[in-house]
Chains A and B, each alone.
Chain A
Amino acid sequence: MRTRDLVALLAEDTGPAGPRPFAPRLLAAAAAGAAISIAILAAWLGFRPLAPAMHSPSYWMKTAYTLLLTAAALAASVRLARPGGRLGAALLLGVVTVGWLAMMAGQETMRAPPGAMAHLWLGDTWRVCPFRILALAAPILAVVLWAMRRAAPTRPALAGAAAGLLAGAIGATVYGLYCEEASAAFVVAWYSLGVAACAAIGAAVGARLLRW
């Protein structure tokens, strides 16, 4: 087929193709994934007593961290889902968020009495925390990647990593509804590990799945 013929053929296929903004569709996918994840948490581990949590600064610190990561990942995913998109401010927000909690963790560590150091960083659940976050993030990752397949990421691995970060951050937010670990050190270490593992899986899967 000559290119001229192809052009003529394509020109005949002019259905309604107004720009469909990707952001609302990504938000819908993320919300659907979060709902699935919350349902899984309810059936699997249950919730921590939520009324005291609402009054605890540590709960809000943890949730602020995971929600800020969610925001950064949303921005990154929207930008990377279209040809020529750049990370820009999304990357900055992510770095600043992690930096903020790492500083909080540093302050905690310096104030802590010598014997309390291990508990501060390891809590009671460090062995299971990253895996649980990963399990809660898995269905979100599936839904978000599915939504992203219909967009046009020109850097599939990076776009997949952003999708994984998004899924991981939402999964971590959901896990916070159960987990009672209260130290910034614990969150910055083990929550971040679970989220980062999810981003790595997203990159690996995205490199294959997001081709078009």
Chain B
Amino acid sequence: MLRGLAGDGAAHAQLLGALAGHLRAYFSRRGAEADAEDLVQETLLAIHLKRDTYDVRQPFTPWAYAVGRYKLLDHFRRRGVRRAVPLEDAGVLLASDNPEEGAVRRDLDRLLGELPPRQRALVEDVKLAGHSIEEAARRQGFTPGAAKVAVHRSLQKLAGLVRS
């Protein structure tokens, strides 16, 4: 997490990838099996966008699970299900992560369609073709700085769309 905060993309990807497994197991255990993959994606997006609220002096795991728990409760609230999920139990689940990806219900690709065309093209270049932001920026006629801002804005927009 610390290296990711410092701008190390590879370390950030490694962390988010590992978290995805833990979160998938967490959500499945907590009675959201069918929507686990959507919740994983929503939580990863939230952790990414709110990573500046993580206090580096505090342990990382409780912070990440507090975000996951919040997303789960928010999910139940929207579904009209009331369940209590004690945060204290979250640590136990660390032992059993599930690396297999489940099926997504709410496809983020569909939500991507609601972004402005240029932003969408940029994001898809990064995501699908596996280009780095610099390459994608060149292909879509952005300056690298503007591309970074555009990708960041797109992710924020996406997080908003996921919630609605």
Contact = CB atoms under 8 A, between A and B. Distances in A.
A11 B7 CA distance: 9
Contacts of A22: 53
B53 A7 contact: no
A204 to B, nearest CB: 15
Interface stretch (A66-74, A79-87, A92-100, A130-138): A79-87
Interface residues of B, number: 57
Interface in A17-60: 17-22
B101 A19 contact: no
Interface residues of A, number: 31
Contact of A19 (B7, B37, B55, B104): B55
A126 B69 CA distance: 44
Contact of A1 (B9, B41, B67, B159): B41
B127 interface: yes
B7 A10 contact: no
Contacts of A152: 46, 50, 53, 67
Contacts of B114: none
Contacts of B64: 83
Interface of B: 4-10, 12-13, 16-17, 20, 37, 40-41, 44-46, 48, 50-56, 58, 62-67, 69-70, 74, 87, 101, 104, 107-109, 112, 123, 126-128, 130, 132-133, 148-149, 151-152, 155, 159, 163
Interface of A: 1-22, 81-84, 151-152, 154, 211-212
